[in-house]
Amino acid sequence: MKNILVINAGSSSLKYQLFDMDRRAVRARGQCERIGLDGRIKHTVEGRAPYTADRLLPDHAAAIRAVTEVLTGPETGVMAGMEEIVAVGHRVVHGGEFFSGSVRVTDEVIAALEACVPLAPLHNPPNLVGIRACFEVMPGVPQAAVFDTAFHQTMPPVAYLYAIPYEYYEKYKVRRYGFHGTSHRYVAQRAAEIIKKPFESLRIITCHLGNGSSITAVQNGRSVDTSMGFTPLEGVPMGTRSGTIDPAILGFLGEREERTAAELVTMLNQKSGMLGLSGVSSDFRDLSEAAERGNQRAALALDIFIYTVKKYIGSYAAAMGGVDALVFTAGIGENNAKMREDISSGLSFMGLTIDKAKNEAPGGEGIISADGAPGYILRVPTNEELVIALDTESLVG
């Protein structure tokens, strides 16, 4: 059996999934929480009761050790020993301009990841800590890094450069990078397979709509534009993030409210978006319920989200000279039929017409556009962990 462990390390948490690559199936999954505080591990194996235990986790190496122990333990385990793991794949948020694809982790790769820390100061350090912890606990086991930014490295300069003095791109690499790349790549490829057309010949718009949301234009199998930018703050309004606003608002509010730029960016990341507009919640289910009860601001927040996503779809269709497929994925894109219907409404002029019955039918991936419409609309559940496992498998041979 070929086991690959997928790790997604955050600042105080570490999620894992163990894949059996022969069956492409998850054997066990879980997460370590409160790393550096006290510590807890939650571990699930299909067909067994979930296992939760408080456990001292002073650092990420301790968390990786805890994962290895539950994966091999007499009651919780699914393997005889860690030597059954052939490779580890890591989700890494930022690969900067260094990486346009997944890579096997070497000393040079670690140095490049360190160089990317200023671009993702909250995310890359824990990713690096996770990689180092795995080298410590599982020496000799090959490791791969799979980047959120890599798929978007094919964007042309017209899409990735901001119209600010060019020296800031040269000096600091200030440019659009884009995120959720693993998800956009996976769902775009799946959409091409589902409609049975060559990925390399299609114009696809992928809508990853979750707590964080981004829209990507995928032309001929390559990302050519995406809504998130230098950071995941740009683009459509999200749960708590503002999305794109007039940058002059920062100067205006900074003066009036006597707040620093850093404080204002925190406000834009944590107190804005659906939460800031509605004053109710960042969660779309809560917002829908509030809107149904007559809360006007919750309804307005949802309308602004729908309107903005629609504008991105229109602009990417213009950028690609049309659209063959529109794909919905992530928490909202996969589960919220009303949102898919509202975003798709009025797009028949560009060949996209949703089928109400198909859209509302329960189920996983599939076509939800009307038969005979020139373009396709699809719902495709994302699976970033599987992509990380597959990339890791192909890198380590």
Q: Which residues bind ligand ADP (CB under 6 A)?
A: 210-212, 239, 283-285, 330-332, 335-336
Which CB sits closer to ligand ADP, 160 or 284? 284
Q: How many residues does the chain have?
A: 397
Which CB sits closer to ligand ADP, 147 or 284? 284
CB of 231 to ligand ADP, least distance (A): 15
Which CB sits closer to ligand ADP, 285 or 311? 285
CA separation for the pair 136, 52 (Å, rounded): 25
Residue 148 appears among annotated catalytic residues: yes
Going from the C-alpha of 315 to that of each of 23, 318, 323, 356, the distances in angstroms are 40, 5, 11, 25
The one catalytic residue among 59, 148, 246, 342: 148
CB of 214 to ligand ADP, least distance (A): 10
CA separation for the pair 290, 299 (Å, rounded): 8
Which CB sits closer to ligand ADP, 353 or 382? 382
CB of 338 to ligand ADP, least distance (A): 9
CB of 331 to ligand ADP, least distance (A): 2
Tokens of 93: 């948020």
Which CB sits closer to ligand ADP, 306 or 330? 330
Which CB sits closer to ligand ADP, 328 or 376? 328
CB of 281 to ligand ADP, least distance (A): 8
CB of 179 to ligand ADP, least distance (A): 10
Number of residue whose CB is nearest ligand ADP: 331
CB of 6 to ligand ADP, least distance (A): 15
224 touches 159 (CB < 8 A)? yes
Which CB sits closer to ligand ADP, 214 or 392? 214
What is the three-state SS of the chain? CCEEEEEEECCCCEEEEEEECCCCEEEEEEEEECCCCCCEEEEEECCCCCEEEECCCCCHHHHHHHHHHHHHCCCCCCCCCHHHEEEEEEEECCCCCCCCCCEECCHHHHHHHHHCHHHCCCCHHHHHHHHHHHHHHCCCCCEEEEECCHHHHHCCHHHHCCCCCCHHHHHHCCCCCCCCHHHHHHHHHHHHHHHCCCHHHCEEEEEEECCCEEEEEEECCEEEEECCCCCCCCCCCCCCCCCCCCCHHHHHHHHHHCCCHHHHHHHHHHCCHHHHHHCCCCCHHHHHHHHHCCCHHHHHHHHHHHHHHHHHHHHHHHHHCCCCEEEEEHHHHHHCHHHHHHHHCCCHHHCCCECHHHHHCCCCCEECECCCCCCEEEECCCCHHHHHHHHHHHHHC
Enzyme catalytic residues:
148
